[in-house]
Amino acid sequence: MIRDAFLAFGVAMSYAAQLTVPGMPFGYSELFLVLWIMLSIGRILAGGRLEASPALTKLGSFWLLLTLALGVGTIVGYLTTVLFLDGLLHDTFAYVLAAGITCLAAAEPDADRHLRRSGWWVIAIANAGFAIQLGLGWGWIHQSGVDPWYWDRFRGWSENPNQLALYCALFGPLALHLATTTSNRWGRFLGLCSLILTFYVGRLTKSDTYLYTTILTCLIFLGLRVRTWLTTGGDKVSLSRQIALLFMVGFVPLAMSMAPYALTEVASAENFAKSLTKDKGGDATVESAALRLYLWNEAFDTGVRSGSLGLGPGPHLDRPPVTDQQFLPRPFEAHSTVLDLYTQGGLIAVLALVWIVGSAALSAWRAKHEALLALASSIVVFGIPHLIIRHPIVWFALTICLVAGTPRATPATVRHRRY
């Protein structure tokens, strides 16, 4: 129970970059995650049992491939360019921490139960933290050293609003999964209620990616839910099922007949879509898009110049000239998970990432957990315009998906393994 709570606190609060341990260069999240790893290793050294599950095999294989790719990339970077030690050490520590969390969590004898219990702790801690941060944002409470606003965008305890938006985008599907798969009515009620606060905080960040991710996640979840409902009825025939089937069959011709009327409302729909984005599709949105396109092009060129081997952990792009009037760090990141990983570990690292995320989605599909598949989809969508591979919540979510698709051993098999 204590280990599960430590893991949950470290995962749920890992976005809180403004909260650091006094006198230490790291935050409370890193502290609790390291403590959880030490407790898990201590359990093993004390004679605790490990389980070589398919999830552990996949995660171990991924981290070995990524280590190989990043090692080769570091050698190439050392021979061909200037490596910045701060970025290299920061990313290396993040990867080591993520590898330890995922592999130790998947090696638990009853990994599914432990991860599920940690998931409930994550949702509870996250919502409690959101309530405190909203109090800070609206001036109801005060905390020294914390600025909850980034201009007009809410960031709470995080360094920037996009970090907080990522966690909101993943907390939502995680809470939805826990709520829809529990038999406890109060648990289902509280899990669904937590979605309200999570969505509200996510919208305060004014992240366009969060909006698109949330919409797509809801559509995927509803589509899969309807599919499950239609395919699990067996030979039973009901009026509601027949109406749903007729609606699905007639949807295409109905949509075609409504097309002429829909085209007349394109301008209104476009204005509505812009109203949902930050700056209502104005200069801020245009500048952000231009900056990302420039960085993505530079990241691709940098990866190609390295022979698709990468340059090692850390950022590798020069400061973009389109924002030279701002104070920006050097080197710079591409702000895209695939392209940043391409500059670090080359093509091997990218293929390894695609494989592990695809395996997680496939495991969720096989387990017939619609919300987990939506959770994996959220990771993919949010990772396209942002670098998210270093965040513990991403690896916690992928581990849950992988473990959910792991076949459970029968009691007889468990007894045989123990004795």
Give me the residues paired with residue 154 across strands: 149
This prediction's pTM: 0.86
Best CA proximity match to 122, nearest among 29, 237, 40: 29
Best CA proximity match to 381, nearest among 223, 261, 214, 242: 214
Q: According to DSSP H, which parts of 81-146 are helical?
A: 85-106, 111-137
Contact call for residues 331 and 369 (beta carbons, < 8 A): no
Contact call for residues 311 and 299 (beta carbons, < 8 A): no
Question: In three state form, how does the secondary structure of 202-245 look?
Answer: HHHCCCHHHHHHHHHHHHHHHHHHHHHHHHCCCCCCCHHHHHHH
Best CA proximity match to 320, nearest among 297, 338, 336, 350: 297
pLDDT tens for the chain, 419 residues long, are: 788 899 999 999 999 999 888 877 788 899 999 999 999 999 989 888 888 889 999 999 999 999 999 999 999 999 988 888 888 999 999 999 999 999 999 999 889 999 999 999 999 999 999 999 999 999 999 988 899 999 889 999 999 999 999 999 999 999 999 999 998 999 999 999 999 999 999 999 999 899 999 999 998 888 888 777 776 655 554 555 555 544 545 545 545 554 554 444 444 444 444 444 455 555 556 666 777 788 889 999 999 999 999 999 999 888 776 654 444 556 678 889 999 999 999 999 999 999 999 999 999 999 889 999 999 999 999 999 999 999 999 999 999 999 987 755 434 333 333 33
